[in-house]
Amino acid sequence: MARSSTSLMVNLFDGARQPLSGPQRVLVRVINGAGRILSARYHRGPSVFFADVPCHGDFRDNYRVVVSAPRSLTSGITGLALSPGRLATVDFMVLPREGSFHFREATWDRLVRSRPHWARLLEREPYQELLEGQPAALAGMLNLLAALEQTPLNGGAAIHYLEEVAWRPAPEPDRIFAWARRDLLTEVARGVQTGLFHPELLPGAFHPGATASFKETRLPAANLQITFHETRREARRGEECVLIELDMDYYPEPCAHALLEVVPNMLFGHKTDPRAVYMMRWMAARRLGLPEFDPLYTVI
């Protein structure tokens, strides 16, 4: 059988979600489903075009693309199914490993104007303290609010089931707690039936005191996890609420999450990096054609 071919466009963006510019050289590796490296060269952005990418009509057409650069986080896309004669386009974020958070759009006054439903869940003074002294914790919280806003449930976006963000326990770079209406559990459980969520077994193993936990399944990375602590109930703003724990994991598979994220974090005292979550969630949303993931900050 004669070999067919296709083409691939790799678009590179910076931590401000703008096309990558400047002299930075980026290593782009294109690998087929058999593990053969078809290209591994340095390029400059913002776009890299690969012509005549082989297509074989079998497992070899499930490509992997990996992007890396000095002092930047490595990112990759797997299971990229290429078809003969059909241009494939993928978007990558080239993010500085130690990049600084920039919250110009997330100051309290701007937040109140642009995301009033977020501001309703927050208090100005503790929010300002995060902004001034704990940028990673603020970035983690903004990641979660943006993800909640983009998670559709039967009664609207998941964020609309929350009544307040909890300040005790305090927000951390990898998680926050919040008070949510009790019907959120019903709607998330319904999401299991539609394939939007997957229930986690033994929720208390990774989340002490948890009674139920559900992980979003629609994205290839950085999926939202909603964990319920049903023994903690309080009335908030006139609503009977339950305490929930919110986080996002790098990896969707339980084994990969445990071995590559949970265990190293426990051994070395690390936390899931909100920069990596930001990069991975943005890329995943672009790949699936979802609205842009915009947590109101950038990384430069």
Check whether 256 has a pLDDT greater than 70.
Answer: no
Q: What is the pLDDT of residue 258?
A: 42
* Alpha-carbon span 131 to 71, nearest angstrom: 25
Is the pLDDT at 139 greater than 70, yes or no? yes
- Supply the pLDDT for residue 246: 98
Residue 19 is predicted with a pLDDT of: 98
How does the average pLDDT of the chain come out, rounded? 92
> Is the pLDDT reported for residue 262 higher than 60?
no
Residue 269 clears pLDDT 80, i.e. is over it: no
pLDDT beyond 50 at 138: yes
- Complete domains list, the chain, with CATH: 4-93 (2.60.40.10), 101-299 (no CATH)
pLDDT in tens, 57-116: 999 999 999 999 999 999 999 999 999 999 999 999 999 999 999 999 999 999 999 999
pTM over 0.85: yes
What per-residue confidence (pLDDT) applies to 206? 86
How large a percentage of the chain has pLDDT more than 70?
93
Q: What pLDDT digit, counting tens, does each position of 170-199 carry?
A: 999 999 999 999 999 999 999 999 999 999
Question: Tens digit of pLDDT for each residue in 149-163?
Answer: 999 999 899 999 999
Q: What is the pLDDT of residue 216?
A: 96
pLDDT at 266 over 70: no
